[in-house]
Amino acid sequence: MVCVNSCVYTDDSCRARVREVQGNSLCPPIMQTRQTRRSFALLFLLMAALVPVSSPVASAEIVCCGASEFELYLIGENNEATMTPFEKELNGIYEKGVSQSVQGVEEIATWSIVWDQSATLSESTWRLNIAYEVENAAGVHANATVEVKIGNNAYTADSGNPGAFMTGSDMIGIDIEIPQVAVNRNDVVEVTFSVRSILFTQPGDDSSIRFVWGEDTGSALRSTLPLVTIEMPNALVVGDEVYFPVILRSGFGERMWSSLEDFEFKIGGIVISDVRSPSIVSGGVEVPFVWNPGSNPNDGAYQVNLSIWLNNGDIPLNTGRSHDITFEEGGGSQSYHFGEPARAVSSRLDVNIDVDYDGSQITRTVELEIEGSMASWLRWGMDNIGNNSLPSDHLFSQVQGSVAAGLSENGKVDQSEKDVLLNHLDSSTRNLELFLGNTGLALNPDGLFEGDLFDLNPEVSIDLMGVASINDNPLRIRIDVVMDLSGQERIMLISDFIRPQLGNGIWTMNGDPAVNLQVRLTASAFSGLYSLIKENIPDNMEVTHYRAGLFEVVILEVDGLSDEEKFEIEYTMNGSALFSPFITLLSVILLLVVGIVIGLRMTKYRSRWITITSSIAFTGLMGYVYALSTLPPTFVMGIGAICAILSIPLAVISPKREMDWSLSDGQLSEDYETAMAREIPTVDCPACNTSNPVESMERPLRLPCGGCGRNLRIEA
């Protein structure tokens, strides 16, 4: 079909006319009308013929499920109070107490969720169950009220007149009648529980009733909602593999997949374990199960079955359908289009931080190695920079920059796409904070860096590690910052940096925390650290601090760090080079040498085993205190001084040596040789300079001079 200057010609007879009218501004009106009608008819036929070819997965069967009754467990408190159907998301116990002094209405809590799917709810009865504990009283009379809001509609119920009587530890339940009502996507479903007219029976001191919810409490809202709609599009034969897409749409979005307790997908009784990266679709997630049928598979109808377990011990939700599959010789020619990868499926994060402190500035390098669904999501995001179909609040829709039309959305990350993202991150620290924050990596920059990124002038680099295609292979993000010191004495080394995530969270592998952290701080010989301050260190975190004369090192390692851990490690810097590692080492060595020399000189004529033993012990002690302990330099030098001072009393209490002049049992000649070989101390007479031997250890000692006969007095 050829169009020239608004004239449409569709048959061969018109082609000559096309050549004649090229360059003219108008076409003959009659021919234009006729050809337009014929073109519309032909265009309609062509579009009808192309529909099944361009949409190989258009035939999607909704195989499950209508509205069902299930528990929405109560979790969180204050602004973070919410509800979830997944027991795996229950972490911690929350409570609120009400004492007998409370008058009027006391609101216990309000829990809410944002519903992510439109549906019409049929008339049903919902029930709120919440656990309680009565303390220091026989029981409590109270009127309990529940208000449920679905969008703009509110429904209220209470425990009736004269109210409920609660005693001991139990559960209170209130039914709420819900009429037929429509719930739209992004509507808020909210439940508020409150009590009034509280009257304690046989109250004691500090009587109260505590309402508890969260893990292992059973507190939940039993609701009737469409939990999940499951669609199964037609199977696709892609090369030697068969893709079975499964779409789960739910008010809980992608969590309907990531927070499931378990699942099982079968084809003809064979369990399929090959599950590729799920992708986000409207109101849910699409999961591709992949089957390799082997060589020479047979065409025909294949039955597939899917079972999912919402929670441990639940009856599974079972569904399935039959697929008519035709295999082609040499492999299937169809293709499977991967959408935006779901972030919260299975991802690992290795954080390596190197910090160098030279006394005037601190240089920090933060490397984030990412593997799993988050790696796929980041590669996909770079490939979709400039994609106008992304929501306005999507992280990658806010990246400013242009990418060549042929490179965008081509299934791989091109250099220009990576450069656009790097320019976006380098242009503003605000952009980098958003990239690291909830809409991106779900990290808290304040926990990774020692100051505000705005003051640190960060430099960012991205290493795809040789893999540009969109898959789960690792990639690395490196951020370098420099902090110039201007009077700071206390600096943050690391603190909890994983933002809390509902459900399993982003950084999990098979439901377990998958963040590994390693931090290395190195201080120069003439700077060093004064002390290391640790707060709420997790049990599995190892912190090593040692000095080595020319440098000082702190190493921190932990595997399996979760967003529940709240910790902080800071260090204070030395105020003077006199307390640096090198000067401290010289001081310790000098104090040890002084103590040893004093001890040896004071025990010239005494037994030295105490002095030698104590010197060895003091040397070992100071080696540990200096190198391996985390004591400040002032304490280290103080302990060294104490060791040197202790050498004096230890030398004083050392016993005197006794000289043995008795003859041995051997021959006299042998005793003579031994006596001649023995060193005898001498003393010179100050009058005649005669050298007199001193053969006695007694002190003081009077000895006559062998030359002039004068008495000599020896004190030591």
pLDDT in tens, 546-594: 888 778 899 999 999 988 888 999 998 877 777 778 888 888 889 889 8
Out of 45-59, 94-108, 148-162, give the one with best mean pLDDT.
148-162
Only one residue has tokens 């809202």, namely: 221
Average pLDDT over residues 79-87: 91
- Has residue 679 got a pLDDT over 80? no
The answer to whether 347 and 375 are in contact (CB under 8 A) is yes
Mean pLDDT of the chain: 83
**Confidence (pLDDT) at 30:** 32
Q: Do domains 68-225 and 229-338 have the same CATH topology?
A: no
List alpha helices for 514-580, DSSP H: none
Phi, psi of 501 (to 5 degrees): -125, 135
Domain 68-225 CATH assignment equals 2.60.120.260: yes
The CATH number that domain 229-338 falls under is: 2.60.40.10
Strand partners, 372: 347
pLDDT band at 671 (very low <50, low <70, confident <90, very high): low
* Residue scoring higher pLDDT (293 or 161): 293
The letter for the amino acid at 54 is S
List alpha helices for 653-691, DSSP H: 668-677
The encoded tokens of residue 349 equal 């994060």
pLDDT band at 650 (very low <50, low <70, confident <90, very high): confident
CA angle 559, 565, 567 (to 5 degrees): 100
The answer to whether 504 and 89 are in contact (CB under 8 A) is yes
- pLDDT cut 70: percent of the chain above it: 87
β-pairing, 60-64 with 208-214? Answer: unpaired
Average pLDDT over residues 324-343: 87
For the chain, give the number of residues.
716
| Secondary structure class of 1 (helix, strand, coil) | coil
Determine the Cα–Cα distance for residues 509 and 626; give it in Å rounded to an integer: 41
- Has residue 17 got a pLDDT over 60? no
**Confidence (pLDDT) at 74:** 95
Sign of CA dihedral 33, 37, 38, 42: positive
**Confidence (pLDDT) at 241:** 92
**Confidence (pLDDT) at 49:** 36
Contacts of 119 (CB under 8 A, 6+ apart): 67, 182, 183, 225, 226, 251
Average pLDDT over residues 462-480: 92
pLDDT band at 35 (very low <50, low <70, confident <90, very high): very low
Whole-angstrom CA distances from 93 to 77, 211, 330, 505, 508 are: 10, 11, 58, 19, 22
pTM (two decimals)? 0.68
**Confidence (pLDDT) at 217:** 93
CA angle 706, 658, 691 (to 5 degrees): 20
Average pLDDT over residues 605-617: 84
CATH architecture observed for domain 347-575: Sandwich (2.60)
**Confidence (pLDDT) at 564:** 83
Core vs surface per residue 72-105: b (16+ CB within 10 A) or e = bbbbbbeeebbbbbbbbbbeeebbebbbbeeeee
**Confidence (pLDDT) at 448:** 93
- Has residue 20 got a pLDDT over 50? no
Average pLDDT over residues 498-503: 76
| Secondary structure class of 567 (helix, strand, coil) | coil
**Confidence (pLDDT) at 12:** 39
The letter for the amino acid at 292 is N
Determine the Cα–Cα distance for residues 376 and 467; give it in Å rounded to an integer: 11
**Confidence (pLDDT) at 308:** 94
Q: Where are the domains of the chain?
A: 2-54, 68-225, 229-338, 347-575, 579-652, 668-714
The answer to whether 470 and 376 are in contact (CB under 8 A) is yes
**Confidence (pLDDT) at 660:** 52
421: enclosing H helix or E strand? helix 415-427
pLDDT band at 611 (very low <50, low <70, confident <90, very high): confident
- Has residue 130 got a pLDDT over 90? yes
Task: Count CB atoms within 10 A of the CB of residue 201.
Answer: 14
β-pairing, 124-135 with 220-225? Answer: antiparallel
User: pLDDT by residue (tens digit) across 190-236?
Assistant: 999 999 888 888 888 888 899 999 999 999 999 998 889 999 999 99
**Confidence (pLDDT) at 412:** 87
- Lowest-pLDDT range, 33-37, 475-479, 505-509, 662-666? 33-37
Phi, psi of 549 (to 5 degrees): 80, -65
User: pLDDT by residue (tens digit) across 589-603?
Assistant: 898 898 888 888 888
The encoded tokens of residue 591 equal 């104090």
**Confidence (pLDDT) at 504:** 61
Question: Over the Cα atoms of the chain, what is R_g?
Answer: 42
The letter for the amino acid at 497 is F
**Confidence (pLDDT) at 22:** 38
Determine the Cα–Cα distance for residues 318 and 314; give it in Å rounded to an integer: 12
pLDDT band at 108 (very low <50, low <70, confident <90, very high): very high
